[in-house]
Chain A
Amino acid sequence: AQSVAQPEDQVNVAEGNPLTVKCTYSVSGNPYLFWYVQYPNRGLQFLLKYITGDNLVKGSYGFEAEFNKSQTSFHLKKPSALVSDSALYFCAVRPLTGGGNKLTFGTGTQLKVEL
């Protein structure tokens, strides 16, 4: 069975500084990897995905993520954080084969960007 770990419940960053939200995964075979963001009382918004190809994936709002197969990680990054980036971030994984339709989510990381 696949699983996702987001080791940090909360990440605090000063505005203008780079941010990293960590994610590691476990899946049989190759993964499809996704990052989503959730604002209070809203659904999840898709940020970016890794399917194949370049390990560095660029997504919405200046976010990017780096797929590292040897470390089974898919950390979310942004060079310069904004206060408006403060939200709950979810990493998710789905195996290329098997696993059915299911997208498995991590427990989420609350990002707080302060002035």
Chain B
Amino acid sequence: GAVVSQHPSRVICKSGTSVKIECRSLDFQATTMFWYRQFPKQSLMLMATSNEGSKATYEQGVEKDKFLINHASLTLSTLTVTSAHPEDSSFYICSARSGRGLNQPQHFGDGTRLSIL
């Protein structure tokens, strides 16, 4: 089946640091990848949709300069949390859809637990 690899799984760093999270589709090409944020015991909140070769589309209320997304190839998208602060601590999950059809399921990475001290 389709596998999405997300790295790192856990990051602990000081306030003010920038953190990069990678999301790779291992056995399929993903023209579209999605970045979510999940708070404890809550659902997934879509942050942005990442399209290969073009600018990401951010959801309302998500700062594009704070959360930089790059989707340079059909198998890799990155999310960089710039100048991270404690309120950015969260569980970040990436997802990719195999194929262009909207009936295709999204496949998820295992998430990145980001803790800002």
Contact = CB atoms under 8 A, between A and B. Distances in A.
A32 B49 CA distance: 19
B43 A34 contact: no
B106 A43 contact: no
Interface stretch (A19-27, A65-73, A77-85, A101-109): A101-109
A43 B93 contact: yes
B52 interface: no
A41 to B, nearest CB: 7
A46 B43 contact: no
Determine the main DSSP class of B at the interface with A: strand
Contact of B111 (A41, A94, A107): A41
A44 interface: yes
B103 A101 contact: no
Interface in B64-117: 91, 93-95, 97, 102-103, 105-111, 113
A76 to B, nearest CB: 15
A94 B108 contact: no
Instruction: Bin chain A's interface residue count.
Output: 20 to 34
A14 interface: no
A45 B108 contact: yes
Contacts of A108: 41-43
Given A49-B103, A94-B102, A42 B111 contact: yes
Contacts of B111: 41-43
Nearest to A92: B106
A102 B36 CA distance: 11
Given A45-B108, A49-B103, 7 more contacts: A42-B110, A43-B4, A43-B6, A43-B111, A100-B49, A101-B49, A106-B43
11 contacts: A41-B9, A41-B91, A41-B111, A43-B4, A43-B110, A43-B111, A44-B44, A46-B106, A90-B43, A94-B102, A101-B97
